[in-house]
Amino acid sequence: MDSIVVTGNGPLSGRIDIAGAKNACLTLMPATLLTEEPLTLQNAPRLSDIRTMTLLLQSLGAEVSALQEGRVLAMSSHAIDNQRADYDIVRKMRASILVLGPLLARFGYAEVSLPGGCAIGARPVDLHLRALEAMGATLDLRDGYVHAKAPAGGLRGGIVDFPLVSVGATENALMAATLAKGTTEIRNAAREPEIVDLARCLRRMGAQIEGEGSHTITVEGVDRLGGATHRVVTDRIELGTYMLAPAICGGDVELLGGAIELVGAFCEKLDAAGIAVEETPDGLRVSRKNGRIRAVDVTTEPFPGFPTDLQAQMMALLCTAEGTSVLEEKIFENRFMHAPELMRMGARIEVHGGTATVHGVEHLKGAPVMATDLRASVSLILAGLAARGETVVNRVYHLDRGYEHVVRKLSGVGAKIERIQGS
């Protein structure tokens, strides 16, 4: 397996292009299943998860072409000949469940394997199923598959009232509701930018949607959707990750395409820790203020709160902060697997259930470490930027699911980093 070698070598300086959002693109791609007409996505990230979703859509009969070095995805679902999403593909990525709502809405039937993804705790699909049942679907879970059937005449509008906020379930419900008969009201909906981006794309396709970005989304179903061209929103998690690079080892880096509204709660914590963030005509500029990083407490929450997908990276920063920080994980259990690896680098961390207490140390030291999931992978790379000596991050295949060209982007601003091909 490949590994990434990082050697701390001081402050960073330069500019980093931020890609389109992985989580937005993985939601927008299944929207092609809702129409016979072409759907084109611009600003697509070049990631293994995007390739996995491409294979899944192609297995259903969709045509997907990557143009302009993968930055543009041209899709057409005019010849769908299969409504079964097989385990062999779905097991690789949790977002595969997002084909369920579109297939059911357009064709009236779908079989989708229960999904896989990072091992960061239980992430059941019951909320997805609950939403489709509210629109009249009949569901049967057997042999590891969800067998879903719409009533005669198709899905019908209803009240979808989520007991918990779920991004994926909101996305599935939103797509299914666009072709349902009548009005669907999605209550306690997720408010993430990726939800807003999906709604904008669906509206370009002819959907009638109101309220995206709030806790209540109203959808008036239409008979059919058309094609569209849509630009994928900036990846706020990649943005936040690279904002931490100059924060953790000093310097001044501009993140092209960044916007405060995508990472507002995150920026508040950076400011409290002693990191300056300023808007520029092209994005955001990040630099460390005078002195050592200050300890801050962090609690992960649904958007617009602090993102769970930036918790591991924030922990890497706080390992060398002055004082003690407390990080509380409220979205996923089992999401502190990076803590023992950071401790191998000299960090002082105590984990009790969903809370991690980080006692800042003067410096970290390079060590061989192992990535356990996508965000843990990049947190160890960030830690290595500020560590003394060489850090070797093993099992970095997770990284390819969510970050394109990490080595190129970080080395472009002065980091000493390289990828070593495994046998």
**Same-domain status, 311 and 376:** yes
Same domain, 248 and 107: no
How many other C-beta atoms can be found within 10 angstroms of the C-beta atom of residue 326?
A: 15
Binding residues: 22-23, 94, 123-127, 309, 331
Residues in the chain: 423
Q: Are residues 252 and 335 in the same domain?
A: yes
Mean pLDDT (whole number) for 307-321: 96
The pair of structure tokens assigned to 267 is 């920026």
For residue 120, is pLDDT > 60?
no
**In sequence order, which ranges of 39-79 are alpha helices (DSSP H)?**
48-59
Q: Name, in order, each residue with C-beta under 8 angstroms of 408's C-beta and a sequence gap of 6 or more.
A: none
Judgement on whether residues 310 and 165 belong to the same structural domain of the protein: no
Report pLDDT digits (tens) over 334-377.
789 999 999 999 999 999 999 999 999 999 999 999 988 888 89
Instruction: Give me the mean pLDDT over the 222-241 stretch.
Output: 98
Please state whether beta strands 3-7 and 390-394 pair in parallel, antiparallel, or not at all (unpaired): antiparallel
Domain boundary, last residue among 231, 248, 282? 231
The reply to whether 274 and 223 lie within a common domain is: no
The amino acid that residue 316 corresponds to is: A
SS3 256: strand
State mean pLDDT over 36-60. Answer: 96
Helix (H/G/I), strand (E/B), else coil: 155: coil
| Beta bridge pairs of residue 63 | 76
Give the tens place of pLDDT for each residue, 252-270.
Answer: 999 999 999 999 999 999 9
Rounded Cα gap, residues 387 and 326, in angstroms: 22
Q: Which residue numbers belong to the known binding site for phosphoenolpyruvate?
A: 22-23
Identify which has the larger pLDDT, 369 or 115: 369
329, 323 contact by CB (below 8 A): no
Q: Which domain holds residue 70?
A: 22-231
| Residues 14 and 46 occupy one common structural domain | no
Q: Determine the Cα–Cα distance for residues 117 and 26; give it in Å rounded to an integer.
A: 13
Predicted pLDDT at 325: 98
Exposed/middle/buried for 324, CB within 10 Å: 0-12, 13-18, 19+? middle
Same domain (yes/no): 251, 388: yes
pLDDT attached to residue 124: 66
Domain count, the chain: 2
Mean pLDDT rounded to a whole number for the chain: 94
CA dihedral 204, 208, 211, 212 (to 10 degrees): -40
Binding-site residues from annotation for UDP-N-acetyl-alpha-D-glucosamine = 94, 123-127, 309, 331
Do residues 123 and 157 share a domain? Answer: yes
One domain for residues 291 and 176: no
Residues 33 and 111 in one domain: yes
Q: Is the peptide bond before 193 cis (omega within 30 degrees of 0)?
A: no
Active-site choice (118, 201, 249, 319)? 118
Q: Which of 174, 202, 231 is the last residue of a domain?
A: 231
Q: Residue 95: helix, strand or coil by DSSP?
A: helix
Nearest to 121 by CA among 342, 344, 244, 300: 300
Q: How far is CA 422 from CA 42, 81, 370, in A?
A: 33, 39, 14
Residue 122 has pLDDT above 70, yes or no: no
pLDDT of residue 160: 98
Q: Active-site residue 118, yes or no? A: yes
Q: What is the CATH number of the domain that holds 191?
A: 3.65.10.10
Report the pLDDT value the prediction gives residue 357, as an integer from 0 to 100.
Answer: 98
* Same domain as 353, residue 226: no
Strand stretches in 35-168, DSSP E: 39-42, 63-67, 72-76, 84-85, 109-113, 138-142, 145-149, 159-161
Starting at the edge strand found earlier in the chain, the sheet holding 216-220 runs 159-161, 183-187, 216-220, 208-210
Q: Are residues 203 and 59 in the same domain?
A: yes
**Residue after which a domain boundary falls, among 204, 231, 258:** 231
Provide φ and ψ at 112, rounded to 5°.
-130, 125
Q: Per-residue DSSP letters for 296-339?
A: --EEB-STTSB-GGGHHHHHHHHTTSBSEEEEE--S-SS--TTH
